[in-house]
Amino acid sequence: MSETLGAGSTSRRIRLLASAACAALLAVTATVPASAAHADEAHSRPVVTTNQTGTHDGYFYAYWKDMGDSTMVLGPQGQYGARWTGINNWFGGKGWATGGRRTVNYCGTFHPGGNSYLALYGYTTNPLTEYYVVENWGTYRPTGTPMGTVVSQGGAYDIYRVQLGVGSTPYYRYYSVRQQKRSSGTIDTGDHFDAWARAGMHLGTTMGYMIMATEGYQSSGWSHVTVDSAPTGRCAPAPQVPR
């Protein structure tokens, strides 16, 4: 099995992406399952442990896993906390129901106990494409076919392309991987979109959601993240996740 995060569970994960895309077209936000309806209460701190997308205190959120134990707690505005133990593959985070050219400020703590990412994640359709701007990682640094580098917001990123597929339909995953790890900073998505396009790595015409995600693959760990925080880097504490 490839060490690339999520490669072993692509088909199930894509089903979640497809449902989120349909919901976005119908309502510009995904439908929250009845069991998670309380997640729309602005000042609550709902605990998420099942696959879902929704909104909480003005931000879109997504959570997905295949096997193992992972918990995400939603805090005020763009805050969330996550903890995972013995997971096969999971990811979750907060951001926006529709991705695009945006300056994303974030800060937090990230403690991977193995193969994990802290990354801005999004996808497009027409055609289907996944993309990551990877800011921090654990024991495995993502790779693929080298497609160049891009300098953005004071840091250099290596660009990679990975071809994946569901059945007979292939699609691509694009990575910008920061050369120096960090857990707080600013991401200019337009810089990465433009660099990928110059390398012949074109996104689809329809943007799906975009979140500042924590992801784990066959690992354990925890994170506390605030997205769209002040450019000064000052962040309110993200919610702690019960052990």
Q: Which of 3, 41, 135, 215 does the annotation list as catalytic?
A: 215
Q: Is 215 a catalytic residue?
A: yes
Which is higher by pLDDT, 235 or 223? 223
Helices (H) and strands (E) in the chain, counts: 2, 12
For residue 131, the SS3 value is strand
For residue 178, the SS3 value is strand
Which is higher by pLDDT, 18 or 55? 55
State the Cα–Cα distance between residues 184 and 169, nearest whole angstrom: 36
CB distance 122 to 209 below 8 Å: yes
State the Cα–Cα distance between residues 167 and 97, nearest whole angstrom: 27
State the Cα–Cα distance between residues 184 and 226, nearest whole angstrom: 9
CB distance 195 to 159 below 8 Å: yes
State the Cα–Cα distance between residues 15 and 53, nearest whole angstrom: 12
The pTM score is 0.84
Q: Which of 3, 41, 130, 135 does the annotation list as catalytic?
A: 130
For the chain, give the mean pLDDT: 84
| pLDDT tens string 145-161 | 999 999 999 999 999 99
What structural domains does the chain harbor? 7-227 (2.60.120.180)
Q: Is 130 a catalytic residue?
A: yes
| pLDDT tens string 98-138 | 999 999 999 999 999 999 999 999 999 999 999 999 999 99
- DSSP string spanning 50-104? SSEEEEETTEEEEEEESSSEEEEEE-STTEEEEEEEEEEEEEEEEEESS--S-EE
Paired strand residues for 94: 61, 212
**Which among 115, 120, 132, 111 has a CA at the least distance from the CA of 78?**
120
Confidence band of 7 (pLDDT split at 50, 70, 90): very low
Residue 10: φ, ψ to 5°: -60, -45
